[in-house]
Structure 1
Amino acid sequence: MSSPHHSAPAEAQAHALCVDLDGTLLNSDILYESLLALLARQPLYLFLLPFWLLQGKAALKRQIARRITLDPAHLPYNAQVLELLRTTSQRPRVLCTASDALLVAPIAAHLGLFERVIASDGALNLSGTRKAEALVEAFGARGFDYAGNGKVDLAVWQHAAGAWVVNNDQHLARAAAQHTRVHRHWPAPPRAGAWLKALRLHQWLKNLLVFVPLLTAHRFLEPQAVMQSLLAFAAFSLCASGVYLLNDLLDLAADRQHLRKRQRPFAAGRLPLLHGVLVAPLLTVAGLLVALACSPAFAGVLLVYYTATLAYSLRLKRVVMLDVVLLAGLYTVRIIGGTVAIGAELSFWLLAFSMFIFLSLALLKRYTELHAMLARGKTAASGRGYGVDDLPLLQSLGSAAGYIAVMVMALYINSPESIELYRNPKLLWFICPVLLYWVSRAWVIAHRGDMHDDPIVFAATDRPSQVVAVLCALFALVAI
């Protein structure tokens, strides 16, 4: 059934070529695209959705379409379907979709490949049997070929002269073949790798911060404390992946204009948006349940983390400077969570150091994004409140925050807390020049445009950074 694409069979040339939009021409769904764009702009619309839906699905789509504009130039199109349309100009090409006409018309105009558009109009939801009736009325039974991607399209294929089955498995292709001739079957690519990327397992490295209090309190030989820290790590990781999914769903438009982020699975159309909408809350609930197994107090910290991260994703990441302060705070909350998980006392010095060092990293992240924008000839970061003119300011603020973190470390060495925990606290002084080197080097790399756009990933994969981490750990152990 599957085979490489080539031009449509000669016997099919007389029929109109009707193409579905969601999941067929697009590796996405306009309803979910527009809904997520609406909620990203104004989350309170969530409470109006049930009332719109009571008026019917077509009315719901129209209400959303009136409030949202999608950029057709950056949507994830299916390359095989586009090629089919481009090589079939000798017969009528029709875009036939259940999506609302207000959102479909700009897409058709952008592509310039269709002679006609048939879509939902706010009163009629053009899906399944209704779509079949519209196409039969327009072209007659067996007077059209139809490209679709779902079981709902079987109602259309019953009346079609031929079928293209897109983004689905062999079962749907066989079902379509019982009604009409299947010209081509283009299955969806494997999704396992896309899910691993969407969950951002590499970002779980950030959650290793929950083990910092275990080490600084010198309780790493206590089995119970280690187990509590492991539970805290698992809870933060599950919750963080849920937030990453939600952030990607709400940031589709901005991600598609970003050099690297446009390859994220949801932005690139490699995963269905509906799956993300379902999986994100499941991961969050799983993380909260693991947190409760750790302790109710830790669950409270995790809930604060989730609420702050949600606020960041929905609105605060667009507020200049507040975004980087909040990012630094989210890193620090992980350390607070690790402290609460093992029942230790919060350290003023540890919190002060983490706040400044992570503020430096957050500013480094923004600086790197803007530097990349400047290299591409852009003047502002999409979805952010910064412009390339802010680069010198961000560089000075970020490097200053990094040096202040080292100063906090130096002051800690002579504190009563340090003398109590370490047998030879003066040996901790060796950590200071190592950290000064690392902070300075990171900003030099960013200034040259060679920094990864996630400094945490840079720190985990950069060999000199790894050496710095090992040296700091060795100096701390010798001091103990």
Structure 2
Amino acid sequence: MCFCSVNQERKVTLLYNKFDYQGLLISERKTTKKTNIIAMIRLSRPKQWIKNIFVFLALLSSGDIIELSHIVNSCIGFVLFCFISSSVYILNDLIDINADKIHPIKKFRPLASGAVSKVQALVLLIILCSISLILSFLFNYNLAVVIFIYFILNILYTIKLKKIVIVDIMVISTGFLLRVISGYVVIQEEISLWILLCTFFLTMFLGLNKRKQEIHTLNSDAKEHRKILNEYSEELINQILPVVASCAIIFYSFYTFQVSKNIWMMLTIPSVIYGMLRYQYLSLKSNVGENPEIVLVNDVPFIVNFILLVFIAITIKFI
């Protein structure tokens, strides 16, 4: 009796341990799957999507800012640009994976850290790129052309153009120009040359600050991480920054004086100047130049100024 009881107890214990082990395996698989999904989302860099707000610049500068169809079309353009820009970020991470592994910050990215495999990244790239190109073609042929040019430009940038001093920054700025142009395309408004010039120099201002911060962050390892950084120096960038910042402000001022349909748009100039100076201050004080999106979502004075700028611009449209 006792012997049978012991055997039964052992069988129950083994059975329990078996189920417990299987349950643990299932739990671990669920956790791994969840972690992988999160890593895939991080790989697409949703935090960078805020850069695509340049698509709405055309809407803000148009005379029909509250036109529902314009708002909807601008939102669609924004989403499609988010998809294509994410595919570009993934492509860049695939090509720069070895350099990112030695970067003090970028080494934590999903691909560089090994959280996402190259195959998974490639599949996600193809899916996002296909969705963006196909839907944009169905929605607006001209938008599809702009998005396709943006994608090809970034392929050329990733392969070759990012290795050419100054040209690398100009290509990045051209990418933002294409965002603005897409905004005009979807609402079928005449493109403002002054807005394009302002955007080009404004984003050059941001790009140069990013290069400067990369040099500061990497120090002696800058050349190993990215060869183009060998062609830049803080002294060179400090000489170029005032030029591009002045051009951005001047061209925006020309827009408010000559192109905008209301002369009171000049009231937005102080907000534009403050925004640029605030960003420059934070780049030097808090070392955020390498990630401008941090300023856009975390710095309260900058956010308040941006909201004020948009409020003034919208209010003036109704005067």
TM-score (norm 2): 0.84
Instruction: Confirm whether residue 473 of structure 1 aligns to residue 300 of structure 2.
Output: no
Instruction: Confirm whether residue 399 of structure 1 aligns to residue 242 of structure 2.
Output: yes
CA pair 449-211 structure 1, distance change in 2 beyond 3 A: closer
Q: Which of 133, 137, 160 matches 1:315?
A: 160
Q: Which of 244, 247, 257 matches 2:92?
A: 247
Cα offset for 1:237?
1.0
Alignment deviations for residues 41-68 of structure 1 (CA, whole Å, 9 cap, x no partner): xxxxxxxxxxxxxxxxxxxxxxxxxxxx
CA pair 254-222 structure 1, distance change in 2 beyond 3 A: same
Q: Which of 455, 459, 471 matches 2:292?
A: 455
Alignment deviations for residues 371-410 of structure 1 (CA, whole Å, 9 cap, x no partner): 1123xx4453612412396112112212321221111122
Q: What is residue 329 of structure 1 aligned with on the other side? A: 174
The letter for the 2-side match of 1:260 is I
Equivalent residues of 1:328, 1:358 under 8 A apart = yes
Q: What is residue 38 of structure 1 aligned with on the other side? A: none
Which stretch shows the higher mean deviation, 236-245 or 221-230?
Answer: 221-230
Say which structure, 1 or 2, has more relative contact order (CA 8 Å, 6+ apart).
2
Give the whole-Å Cα distance in 1 for the aligned partners of 2:310 and 2:33.
Answer: 47
Which stretch shows the higher mean deviation, 279-288 or 401-410?
Answer: 401-410
Q: Which of 211, 215, 219 matches 2:64?
A: 219
Q: What is residue 252 of structure 2 aligned with on the other side? A: 409
Give the whole-Å Cα distance in 1 for the aligned partners of 2:227 and 2:77.
Answer: 31
Equivalent residues of 1:319, 1:384 under 8 A apart = no
The residue matched to 1:459 in structure 2 has which SS?
Answer: helix
Q: What is residue 280 of structure 1 aligned with on the other side? A: 125
Equivalent residues of 1:381, 1:387 under 8 A apart = no
The letter for the 1-side match of 2:228 is G
Instruction: Confirm whether residue 191 of structure 1 aligns to residue 53 of structure 2.
Output: no
Runs of 4+ in 1 over 6 A off after TM superposition: 186-189
Cα offset for 1:449?
5.4
Q: What is residue 294 of structure 1 aligned with on the other side? A: 139
Cα offset for 1:344?
1.2
The letter for the 2-side match of 1:412 is Y
Q: What is residue 3 of structure 2 aligned with on the other side? A: none
Equivalent residues of 2:169, 2:208 under 8 A apart = yes
1:317-466 correspondence to structure 2 within 5 Å: 317-374=162-219, 377-378=220-221, 380=223, 382-387=225-230, 390-415=233-258, 417-418=259-260, 421-422=261-262, 425-426=263-264, 428-448=265-285, 450-466=287-303
Equivalent residues of 1:231, 1:290 under 8 A apart = no
Cα offset for 1:209?
1.4
Structure 2, unpaired ranges of 5+: 1-23
Give the whole-Å Cα distance in 2 for the aligned partners of 1:391 and 1:349.
Answer: 29
Q: What is residue 12 of structure 2 aligned with on the other side? A: none
Q: What is residue 51 of structure 1 aligned with on the other side? A: none
Q: How many aligned positions are there?
A: 291
The letter for the 1-side match of 2:226 is G
Cα offset for 1:301?
0.6
The structure that is helix-richer by fraction is: 2
Cα offset for 1:351?
0.6
CA pair 379-205 structure 1, distance change in 2 beyond 3 A: closer
1:11-410 correspondence to structure 2 within 5 Å: 170=25, 190-374=35-219, 377-378=220-221, 380=223, 382-387=225-230, 390-410=233-253
Q: Looking at CA atoms only, which structure, 1 or 2, has the larger radius of gyration?
A: 1
The letter for the 2-side match of 1:411 is F
Give the whole-Å Cα distance in 1 for the aligned partners of 2:192 and 2:297.
Answer: 25
Q: What is residue 83 of structure 1 aligned with on the other side? A: none
Give the whole-Å Cα distance in 2 for the aligned partners of 1:379 and 1:351.
Answer: 32
The residue matched to 1:190 in structure 2 has which SS?
Answer: helix
Give the whole-Å Cα distance in 1 for the aligned partners of 2:224 and 2:240.
Answer: 19
Equivalent residues of 2:257, 2:266 under 8 A apart = no
Give the whole-Å Cα distance in 1 for the aligned partners of 2:116 and 2:303.
Answer: 34
Give the whole-Å Cα distance in 1 for the aligned partners of 2:232 and 2:152.
Answer: 32
Give the whole-Å Cα distance in 1 for the aligned partners of 2:148 and 2:231.
Answer: 35
Give the whole-Å Cα distance in 1 for the aligned partners of 2:115 and 2:48.
Answer: 20
CA pair 190-411 structure 1, distance change in 2 beyond 3 A: closer
Equivalent residues of 1:371, 1:449 under 8 A apart = no
Give the whole-Å Cα distance in 2 for the aligned partners of 1:214 and 1:187.
Answer: 43
The letter for the 1-side match of 2:257 is N
Equivalent residues of 1:170, 1:187 under 8 A apart = no
The structure that is strand-richer by fraction is: 1
The residue matched to 2:35 in structure 1 has which SS?
Answer: coil
Give the whole-Å Cα distance in 1 for the aligned partners of 2:298 and 2:316.
Answer: 27
Equivalent residues of 2:278, 2:302 under 8 A apart = no
CA pair 379-255 structure 1, distance change in 2 beyond 3 A: closer
The residue matched to 2:228 in structure 1 has which SS?
Answer: coil
TM-score (norm 1): 0.57
Cα offset for 1:226?
2.1
Give the whole-Å Cα distance in 1 for the aligned partners of 2:133 and 2:203.
Answer: 25
Give the whole-Å Cα distance in 2 for the aligned partners of 1:346 and 1:440.
Answer: 27
Give the whole-Å Cα distance in 1 for the aligned partners of 2:32 and 2:124.
Answer: 23
Q: Percent identity?
A: 24
The letter for the 1-side match of 2:104 is L
